[in-house]
Amino acid sequence: MDSQASSKLRPMGAKRNPPIESLRHVFQDSMDRMSPGDILLLDDNESLRDLVDPAFFAILSCPLCGKLDLITQSQYSGIESVICGYDDCSCHFRIDHKQALIYLPVN
Ligand SMILES: [Zn+2]
């Protein structure tokens, strides 16, 4: 009799936006229209490379909210996880094999 109570709420709205499973590598000419999950490697784009702090390795569009953020080589290599810097998102994930996205719980 409690079938209603067992229905679960899904905060991410998974029906509309299934989680993106892998990164898509793009180049500088696509920078102003990057989609969630797109990544732009700074080493492949010299004019951008000169503008960005050498501590960072790539520009990543958050796979959940699409906000652009800078990530380090350690994050790109999967050594460190990535947390979206946007307060309303806080998507936490790891990049596996420089391609696949593994979502992690938000602490
Ligand atoms: Zn985000």
Nearest-angstrom CA–CA distance, 61 and 70: 9
Q: How far is the CA of 15 from the centre of ligand 1 (A)?
A: 18
Domain extent for 48: 19-103
Share of the chain above pLDDT 70, in %: 83
Instruction: Report which of residues 107 and 56 the model is more confident about.
Output: 56
Number of domains present in the structure of the chain: 1
pLDDT digits (tens, 9 = 90+) for 63-75: 999 999 999 999 9
> Separation of 49 CA from ligand 1 center, angstroms?
23
pTM confidence score: 0.81
pLDDT in tens, 77-103: 999 999 998 989 989 999 999 999 999
Judged on CB neighbours under 10 Å (0-12, 13-18, 19+), 80 is middle
- Residue pair 60/72 in contact (Cβ under 8 Å)? The answer is no
- Supply the pLDDT for residue 14: 46
Which residues, by Cβ under 5 Å, contact ligand 1, an ion? 62, 64-65, 84, 86, 89, 91
Pair 60, 69: CB distance under 8 Å: yes
Across the range 4-27, mean pLDDT stands at 68
* pLDDT at residue number 107: 67
Asked whether residue 5 is domain-assigned, the answer is no
User: Is 7 inside a domain boundary?
Assistant: no
Instruction: Give, in degrees to the nearest 5, the angle at Cα 87 between 76 and 83.
Output: 20
Backbone angles phi, psi at 43, to 5 degrees: -65, -20
